[in-house]
């Protein structure tokens, strides 16, 4: 389609007159070409009904039953399309540009720059580059200038929190600059920037939202309680081995070795710190503990099968089994931690159900194993 390079803000009256004249000529020509009689009231009603579903589209079935529906707006001359476009705000103009190739090229970067002039930079940072929403500057992340086809070359632009998260632009443990030129942290719990529509920072830790820190605090308490239960089960299993199976080397020796390794795991938990990652070492220890509990379980089961179904044997088997289950969960959790699984994926909007379930499972494993990982610093140190 031929491009019109007339600047719409100059000679407006002339342009409108030209456009209307052009449109009249075109309409008259179509009528003559059809050779049809003047439309009856019924056919006019019929046409009106056909165009009811959209002000921009008409059903061209009058001319051909197989023709594609065409747009009234596209039928207008370029001058009139420009005249309509200049009444649009920045967001609507960009939306129109995204509807088809014609408007993409008609409302080209030169036109947008000429039309918005000095306020273009302000418009760019006030709208989300992706969804074109305008949630307010406090809820937009400022992006560096980039080359684009939207008339924004070399100018900073913005993205709303939701679009920035969906396109994985944000990293936990870093700060971002908002469109209001304030700097803010990316929440360590949910991955959304702090402030604006996402809520204020927690007074206890500026790198968390208020609600997110409350959740983290609750998870920490649950972790401490479960950790106490895990430790108690480990101690009980070792104590049962010591009391009832002191003479059975297949039970006693692995139980004492796993008890010693349990303390090593506790030491890693206590002295891990924020930067040094020791998940691989703890994972290996947990796996060794799981392996060490296999011979005692085997020996106790054999004893029960041989007729030693006393309460002590059943209790020992129960504690050994629970201990192995806990250690296995810890091993899998440490693998998830080792691969730096990003739990903030959990809070990405519009995730498919499968991904949401997977994220819940992974988050559950990590909360079980070491929820303090949300406070870890970057880049990681594995030495
Ligand atoms: Zn957006
Ligand atoms: Zn948060």
Ligand nearest to the CA of 192: 2
Ligand nearest to the CA of 184: 2
State residue 221's pLDDT score.
Answer: 95
The stretch 151-167 carries a mean pLDDT of: 81
Place of tokens 């088997």: 317
Over the chain, what is the mean pLDDT?
Answer: 79
pLDDT tens per residue across span 277-329:
788 888 999 999 999 999 989 988 888 888 777 788 888 889 999 999 999 99
The percentage of residues in the chain with a pLDDT greater than 90, rounded to a whole number, is 24
State residue 380's pLDDT score.
Answer: 67
Ligand nearest to the CA of 162: 1
The stretch 180-196 carries a mean pLDDT of: 90
Annotated domain spans of the chain? 12-87, 119-208, 210-375
Assess contact for 29 and 21: CB atoms under 8 A.
no
Using the mean position of ligand 2's atoms as its centre, give its distance from the Cα of residue 347 in Å: 9
State residue 152's pLDDT score.
Answer: 53
Ligand nearest to the CA of 159: 1
Ligand nearest to the CA of 374: 2
pLDDT tens per residue across span 255-268:
889 888 888 888 88
1 against 188, higher pLDDT: 188
State residue 45's pLDDT score.
Answer: 39
Give yes or no for residue 331 having a pLDDT over 90: yes
Using the mean position of ligand 2's atoms as its centre, give its distance from the Cα of residue 157 in Å: 24
Using the mean position of ligand 1's atoms as its centre, give its distance from the Cα of residue 139 in Å: 10
pLDDT tens per residue across span 88-125:
989 999 999 998 888 888 888 888 888 888 888 888 88
Degrees to nearest 5, angle at CA 338 with 336 and 339: 70
State the Cα–Cα distance between residues 136 and 91, nearest whole angstrom: 13
Using the mean position of ligand 1's atoms as its centre, give its distance from the Cα of residue 207 in Å: 23
pLDDT tens per residue across span 221-275:
999 999 899 889 988 988 888 888 888 888 888 888 988 888 888 888 877 777 6
Using the mean position of ligand 2's atoms as its centre, give its distance from the Cα of residue 270 in Å: 26
Ligand nearest to the CA of 208: 2
State residue 62's pLDDT score.
Answer: 46
Using the mean position of ligand 2's atoms as its centre, give its distance from the Cα of residue 344 in Å: 9
- Residue 338, classed as helix, strand or coil, is helix
Degrees to nearest 5, angle at CA 88 with 161 and 179: 25
Assess contact for 296 and 320: CB atoms under 8 A.
yes
pLDDT tens per residue across span 64-87:
445 555 677 888 888 888 888 889
Ligand nearest to the CA of 160: 1
State residue 148's pLDDT score.
Answer: 56
What's the pTM? 0.70
Using the mean position of ligand 2's atoms as its centre, give its distance from the Cα of residue 96 in Å: 35
State residue 117's pLDDT score.
Answer: 83
Using the mean position of ligand 2's atoms as its centre, give its distance from the Cα of residue 59 in Å: 50
Give yes or no for residue 172 having a pLDDT over 90: no
Q: What are phi and psi of 144, to 5 degrees?
A: -65, 155
Using the mean position of ligand 2's atoms as its centre, give its distance from the Cα of residue 274 in Å: 19
Assess contact for 233 and 326: CB atoms under 8 A.
yes
The stretch 210-219 carries a mean pLDDT of: 93
Which DSSP symbol is given to 272? Answer: -
| Distance set, CA 135 to CA 125, 237, 288, 344 (Å) | 11, 57, 53, 22
Q: Please, which pLDDT band fits residue 10 given cuts at 50, 70 and 90?
A: very low
């Amino acid at each position: 389609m031929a491009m019109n390079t007339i600047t719409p803000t100059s000679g407006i009256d002339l342009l409108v007159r030209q456009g209307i004249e052009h449109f009249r000529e075109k309409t008259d020509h179509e009528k003559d070409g059809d050779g049809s009689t003047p439309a009856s009231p019924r056919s006019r009603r019929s046409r009106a009904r056909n165009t009811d579903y959209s002000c921009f589209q008409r059903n061209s079935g009058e001319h051909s039953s197989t023709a594609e529906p065409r747009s009234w707006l596209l039928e207008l001359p370029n001058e009139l399309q420009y005249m309509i476009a200049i009444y649009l705000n920045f967001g609507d103009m960009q939306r129109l540009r995204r509807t088809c190739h014609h408007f993409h090229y008609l409302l080209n970067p030169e036109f947008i720059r000429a039309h918005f002039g000095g306020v273009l930079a302000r418009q760019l940072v006030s709208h989300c580059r992706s969804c074109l929403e305008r949630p307010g500057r406090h809820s937009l992340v400022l992006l560096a200038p980039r080359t684009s086809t939207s008339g924004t070359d070399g100018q900073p632009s913005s993205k709303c929190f939701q679009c920035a998260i969906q396109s994985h632009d944000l990293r936990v443990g870093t700060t971002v600059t908002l469109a209001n030129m304030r700097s803010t942290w990316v929440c360590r719990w949910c991955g959304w920037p702090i402030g604006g529509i996402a809520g204020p920072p927690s007074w206890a830790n500026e790198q968390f939202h208020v609600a997110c820190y409350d959740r983290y605090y609750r998870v920490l308490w649950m972790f401490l309680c479960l950790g106490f239960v895990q430790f108690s089960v480990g101690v009980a299993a070792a104590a049962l081995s010591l009391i009832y199976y002191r003479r059975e080397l297949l039970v006693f020796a692995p139980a004492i070795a796993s008890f010693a390794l349990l303390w090593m795991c506790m030491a890693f938990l206590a002295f891990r710190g924020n930067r040094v990652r020791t998940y691989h070492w703890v994972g290996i220890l947990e796996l060794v503990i799981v392996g060490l509990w296999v011979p005692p379980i085997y020996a106790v089961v054999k004893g029960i099968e041989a007729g030693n179904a006393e309460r002590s044997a059943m209790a020992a088997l129960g504690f050994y089994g629970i201990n192995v289950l806990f250690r296995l969960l810890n091993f899998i959790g440490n693998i998830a931690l080792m691969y730096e699984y990003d739990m903030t994926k959990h809070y990405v909007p519009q995730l498919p159900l499968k991904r949401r379930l997977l994220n819940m499972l992974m988050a559950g494993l990590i909360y079980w194993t070491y929820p303090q990982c949300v406070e870890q610093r970057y880049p990681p140190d594995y030495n």
